[in-house]
Structure 1
Amino acid sequence: MPGFHVEKPHDLGQEAAVERVQYVLEKMKGRFEGQVKDMQQTWDGHVLTFAFRTMGVNIDGTMEVLEELVVVKGKLPFAAMLFKGQIEKSIGEELEKIIAKKS
C-alpha cells in the first residue's frame, strides 16, 4: 500500500516536543469531530500510533518525536493517492504550528 511521509525539524528537545504534540492533539480533537471518525491514538514513549476514518477512507500511521525531528508516516489507500501531496502539505503545516518555538 502506498504511503505518506513528512519530516519537520525542531529545536525543542524530545520531551518538550512530545508534550507539545500531545497537548495540541488533545485540543484538536473537537476541531475535526465532524470530518474524522473512529480516531484511535496510542502513545508508546515518543511514538504515537494513530488510525482514523475520513471521507470514507481509512488512514493509519505513526508519528515519531525525536530529539530534533518529528516524523509522520503512514499508509494511504489507492483511492487517496490523488490527495497525497495535499495530505503531506497539510500535515507539514500543522506540525510547523505545533513545534514552532514560542519566544
Structure 2
Amino acid sequence: MPKLQLEVPHTLPQNEAQDRLQRFTESIHGKFGDQAKDVTQSWSDNVLTFGFKTLGMRIDGNIAVEPEKLVVNGDLPMAAMMFKGKIESEIRQQLERLVRV
C-alpha cells in the first residue's frame, strides 16, 4: 500500500496549532463538498486521526502536532497511487492555510 507522508512547518505555539487543526476535516469537506464523504476525525493526545472517502477510495491517516511542524502519515489504496501527488498537495494546502500566521 502506498504511503502518504509529508511535513508542514509552522511557527505557532503547539497548543494553538492543535486548536486550529480541529478544523482540518471541516476544511476538507468545505473545499471538496460532496467529493469528500464519510469524513471522520478523532484525537489522542497531540495526534489527529482522520479519514475520508473520495472517488470511491478511502484515505486514512494521522497528523502529529509537533512544536514546529505537522507530520502527516497515512496509507493510500493502490487505486489512489496515480493521484498521490494531488492528494498530498491538497492536504498540504489545507494544513498550510490552517496554520498560517
TM norm structure 2:
0.88
Q: Which blocks of at least 5 consecutive residues in structure 2 are unaligned?
A: none
Contact 2:36 2:54 in 1 (8 A): yes
The residue identity in structure 1 corresponding to 2:27 is M
Q: 2:24: which partner in 1?
A: 25
Whether contact under 8 Å (1:39, 1:53) holds in the other structure is yes
Identity of aligned residues (%): 44
Q: How far is 1:33 from its partner?
A: 3.8
Answer with 1 or 2: which has the greater Rg: 1
Which runs of structure 1 show a deviation greater than 6 angstroms over 4 or more consecutive aligned residues?
Answer: none
- Residue 53 (str. 1) matches residue 50 (str. 2): no
| Aligned partners of 1:6 and 1:91 also within 8 Å | no
The TM-score, its normalising length taken from structure 1, stands at 0.87
Could you say what the CA RMSD is over the residues aligned between the two structures, in angstroms? 1.6
For residues 28 and 4 of structure 2, what CA distance do their matches in structure 1 show?
A: 21
1:37-81 superposed Cα distances (whole Å, 9 cap, x missing partner): 222211112101112211100110101111111011111011100
Number of the residue aligned with 1:83? 83
Q: Aligned residues, how many?
A: 100
